[in-house]
Structure 1
Amino acid sequence: MSTEQEAAADPVQPTRRWRALLLAAVAACAACGLIYELALLTLSANIHGGGIVATSLIVAGYVAALGVGALLVKPLLGRAAITFIAVETLLGVIGGLSAAALYLTYVFIGGSLWVLVVGTAVIGCLVGAEVPLLMTLLQRGRTAGATDTGRVLANLNAADYLGALIGGLLWPFLLLPQLGMIRGAAVTGMINLVAAAIVAVFLLRHIISARELAAALGVLAAALGLLATLLVRADGLETTTRQRLYADPIVAYERSAYQEIVVTRRGDDLRLYLDGGLQFSTRDEHRYTESLVYPALSESPRSVLVLGGGDGLAARELLRFPGIDRIVQVELDPAVIDLARTTLREVNGNALADPRVDVVVDDAMAWLRAPHPDVHPSGGFDAVIVDLPDPDTPVLGRLYSTEFYALVTRALAPNGRLVVQAGSPYSTPTAYWRTFSTIESAGFAATPYHVHVPTFGDWGFVLARRGADPPTPTVPAEAPALRFLDQQVLDAATVFADDQAPRTLEPSTLDRPRIVEDIRLGYR
């Protein structure tokens, strides 16, 4: 039966209340559709790094799928009512399960990009089918002129865009922080299914047969039961599958607003992971920490700024150095600070509780830009230690830019030293030498050096100061007894073999974050 025949057979013409309720359903479905896309983008960022290329592919693929879905549904417009219920049921189930499917594929198979691509295409097609179906339902029983059609389309677009706004606000401010990705997507799917059920019961019961309505409600109920089961068992599912990613037992886990934080322990070996990347192992972190901190302390510093390093290990070493009476620790994620004060307390010697350490929860770049007369020492900090994660996302890439290091000069005393953890000159040589060139482009004279950290392999740093003469890495005479670093080791650290030969590269900037692509190219 065609839409016109349905309308003729049904004496109940669409009322204003009918259309208002349908437009409310449009808004709810639009909110769910956008949340699914945001969930895919979030998963892409967490699992694959979420770079510009991946983000562009997801957004462009989703938009293209909207058009494909609108074309594919054309033959079904004659049965718009039952087709709409079918589309919403599929969308609720597939969208609600998308996060769990991607996560499980990543855990058990290792590669989940194909699931991301397929999920984007399917969800986009289903969302694209909604508008033609809803337009058909809204026009039911009308002899539509151009003006009337325009009004209906305007109402439909207004409801659609309002719903998208609501979904765009719900995901980052409520669903993701409160429920996480898997449960947030599942709840969104349930809302999608409930909206479809309301439309079926209150709006479409005069259009479809009683048997079709009962079948539709039965399918919707089964789909709701499936997502409710996922919602209840999500914690156990995540815990069980997450452990498969780590060789050692997980002793602490938190999904903060910024990253996934995992601590594992096997015997005396405690390890910290951020978004799956190893940050340190207590077996050899002293090699990394000593090599990062002490070469920057050759000018008998009294004040030190630490950007990143929220685990408290750099602060621990600074507190051992005589003469330092002021440490400002700037860390973006308060969850990392809380972890440093609890689970990692024995590892960092409870450094962040020391009265000489002023902990600031802020973005490093934003903090450098703002004036801090109550924190900033007169004349600037005697040393700045940059201990940030590798720049594998655009957000981190800006903290390895010329502009960032230029801001550091404003916080550094004229004779002060800057040290930056710069990755591996062997495994990721382009990224390492890009960091070196970027630091120099900000007006620093720099010296590269590298040491062997068994957990990481060959690991590099850059020591710098303002002016024309590069600093010579030295172990200060006042340094306490160290487990790894001495002057002989440090002298050798400035020597690079032919397969690690220095390179001069274009700097990474905010406009051209080249270092992010360097990391994405992978390991040598």
Structure 2
Amino acid sequence: MTTKKENGAQWILLIAVFCIATCGLIYELVAGTLASYLLGDSVTQFSTIIGTYLFAMGIGSFFSKYFNNDILKWFIKIEILIGLIGGFSSATLFLLFPLVVSFRLVLYVMVLITGVLVGLEIPLLMRILKDKIEFKDLVSKVFSFDYIGALLASLIFPLILVPHLGLIRTSLFFGIINIAVGWYLAHYFTAQIKQAGLIKAIAILALLVEVVAFVFSDNIMSYSESLTYRDNVVYATSSPYQRIVITKNKRELRLHLNGNLQFSSADEYRYHEALVHPALSSVTDLKNVLVLGGGDGLAVREILKYPSVEKIQLVDLDAVMTKLFSTQEILVKLNEGSLSNKKVTVKNEDAFLWLTNCKQKYDAVVVDFPDPSNFSIGKLYSTMFYDLLKKVINPGGVAVIQSTSPYVAPKSFWCINNTIRAAGFFTMPYHNYVPSFGEWGYIIASADSDRHWFVNYPAGLKFLNPAVMQQMFVFPQDMQYNKPVPANKLNNQVLVGYFEEEWDKYLD
């Protein structure tokens, strides 16, 4: 029969299992999210990081058999070490990203070290508990607490931690939990541990270091971004979907999402005029317009130049973006207050799901999504998406889709064109030069070609005129791709592979 003290020790160790399981999965999720922020292609990053992490845990579990003496002491030391390495993992990676040549190597080394240490925890803890709990109960209890901790981590990470703490604070917070568990175990089992006082002192020192880092985490992030961006960072925040950074110099304001430039205030008008006006100027009775993406309100600004427009529906996933461009004075000035215009309604929803349930029809649709750099965005360039898009366009209506650079990524550009055609649209590809990006591509989609094109565009544009518009539909040989390119289907997403291949080659 177990004594009250032995029973208390069991529960303390089982609660430790719950805590370390939660912390271990959080470090894995932080690494995957950070990699997708900095390197793109979230599916690839999460897949390879999860695989590496689990492999490292297997190595840790294997080497746990070589710990034969003072197992409890070793377990506590490992807890403190994991708390330090895992806790500082995101801060370290953010700081090193702009400084090291091979960031992927640093990332995977850190994932390996953390995984090995986490893999040591459960086997050591089970050996500590084997004399206190019958084997069948030991296995069931340890893994029950382990899986419950993993469930908690997977729920709170996207819903609470990333939106409210950010990645640096999240990893530091759980590093503090790891170290606190180590300190408490050293305190509770002081009589059974050699040099327990020294271990507790080290744990307290490590806790203090992490608490200080937690308090100054915004400074760490700001310093990291000052290394990444050549201009002054004037605003930075994390939404549940992306890292939003705005930089400024004497000449321009720039928006970066997950490290990728989205626009420069110096020349964004070239992009947005080219995106909006060739399509909308070809609609004779333009009243209702749908904008998918474009949470900065700059495309909406251009649409509002048509007096006949009565309603504009904007659908953008990220509420942080649309709020930012509706409330910040410098950004509202840039989009001329478009998101607050009485004609505009904003919905913060996934455009794919929103289209699935949409019953309204529109005279024009402007599709301004980020480039298809990962599978979650790639679905918005699929035949299924364009089939949904076709259903919401009125007879005589048009759509226009931003379609990446036909110079840097011609295979990707023409894949998008072929995908739109596969959905039953007539297409008109075109391009223009934007100094911040280079040559950029767009595709007009309509039910047929029987219409008067480009006749109703508004006056007072900075970039477009009839002569410029004609030139945009001529593609030089180096923007062509003469080999057959399949359509991008939801079940294969070939476009994401093309895009990654072409842009990686260009950036290297």
TM-score, normalization by structure 1 = 0.91
CA contact (8 A) 1:14 1:140 kept: no
Deviation at 1:250, TM superposition (A): 2.2
| One-letter code aligned to 2:420 | I
The answer as to 2:75 corresponding to 1:84 is yes
Bigger drift between 103-112 and 309-318 goes to 103-112
The answer as to 2:500 corresponding to 1:520 is yes
| C-alpha distance in 2 between matches for 1:17 and 1:185 | 29
| C-alpha distance in 1 between matches for 2:167 and 2:5 | 39
Deviation at 1:191, TM superposition (A): 0.4
Structure-2 residue corresponding to 1:310? 295
Structure 2 SS opposite 1:15: helix
Q: Structure 1 residues 418, 240: closer, same or farther in 2, change over 3 A?
A: same
Structure-1 residue corresponding to 2:319? 334
Structure-1 residue corresponding to 2:436? 455
Structure-1 residue corresponding to 2:52? 61
Within the candidate set 219, 227, 233, 1:236 is matched to: 219
Within the candidate set 279, 283, 301, 2:262 is matched to: 279
| One-letter code aligned to 1:397 | G
Structure-2 residue corresponding to 1:395? 376
The answer as to 2:208 corresponding to 1:225 is yes
The answer as to 2:129 corresponding to 1:115 is no
| C-alpha distance in 2 between matches for 1:110 and 1:185 | 24
Deviation at 1:183, TM superposition (A): 1.1
Deviations 1:391-411 (CA, angstroms, capped at 9, x unpaired): 112211111111111111111
Structure-2 residue corresponding to 1:299? 283
Within the candidate set 495, 499, 515, 2:474 is matched to: 495
Alignment of structure 1 residues 102-181 onto 2, 5 Å: 102-109=93-100, 111-140=102-131, 148-181=134-167
Deviation at 1:251, TM superposition (A): 2.2
| C-alpha distance in 2 between matches for 1:120 and 1:32 | 14
| C-alpha distance in 2 between matches for 1:232 and 1:355 | 42
CA contact (8 A) 2:33 2:46 kept: no
When Rg is computed on C-alpha atoms for both structures, the one with the higher figure is 1
Runs of at least 5 residues in structure 1 that lack an aligned partner in the other structure: 1-10, 143-147
The answer as to 2:411 corresponding to 1:430 is yes
Structure-2 residue corresponding to 1:8? none
| C-alpha distance in 2 between matches for 1:477 and 1:38 | 50
| C-alpha distance in 2 between matches for 1:75 and 1:174 | 39
Structure-2 residue corresponding to 1:255? 238
Structure 2 SS opposite 1:38: helix
TM-score, normalization by structure 2 = 0.94
Structure 2 SS opposite 1:280: strand
CA contact (8 A) 1:77 1:133 kept: no
Deviation at 1:85, TM superposition (A): 0.8
Between the two proteins, the alignment pairs up a number of residues equal to 498
Deviation at 1:490, TM superposition (A): 1.7
Deviation at 1:83, TM superposition (A): 0.9
The answer as to 2:371 corresponding to 1:420 is no
Within the candidate set 353, 375, 380, 2:340 is matched to: 353
Q: Identity over the aligned pairs, expressed in percent?
A: 35
Deviations 1:225-248 (CA, angstroms, capped at 9, x unpaired): 221121122111211221222222
Q: Structure 1 residues 257, 470: closer, same or farther in 2, change over 3 A?
A: farther
| C-alpha distance in 2 between matches for 1:281 and 1:159 | 50
Q: Structure 1 residues 470, 228: closer, same or farther in 2, change over 3 A?
A: farther
| C-alpha distance in 2 between matches for 1:75 and 1:250 | 49
| C-alpha distance in 1 between matches for 2:441 and 2:491 | 25
Root mean square deviation of aligned Cα: 1.9
| C-alpha distance in 2 between matches for 1:494 and 1:168 | 48
| C-alpha distance in 2 between matches for 1:310 and 1:56 | 29
| C-alpha distance in 2 between matches for 1:35 and 1:100 | 14
| One-letter code aligned to 1:307 | L
Deviations 1:73-114 (CA, angstroms, capped at 9, x unpaired): 211133211110111111111100111111111032364211
Structure-2 residue corresponding to 1:507? 487
Structure 1 SS opposite 2:182: helix
CA contact (8 A) 1:422 1:432 kept: yes
Q: Structure 1 residues 476, 253: closer, same or farther in 2, change over 3 A?
A: farther
Within the candidate set 166, 171, 175, 1:189 is matched to: 175
| C-alpha distance in 1 between matches for 2:348 and 2:101 | 34
Deviation at 1:511, TM superposition (A): 1.0
Deviation at 1:389, TM superposition (A): 0.9
Structure 2 SS opposite 1:344: helix
| One-letter code aligned to 1:306 | V
Deviation at 1:470, TM superposition (A): 8.0
Structure 1 SS opposite 2:307: coil
Q: Structure 1 residues 110, 256: closer, same or farther in 2, change over 3 A?
A: farther
Alignment of structure 1 residues 369-388 onto 2, 5 Å: 369-372=356-359, 376=360, 380-388=361-369
Structure 2 SS opposite 1:345: helix
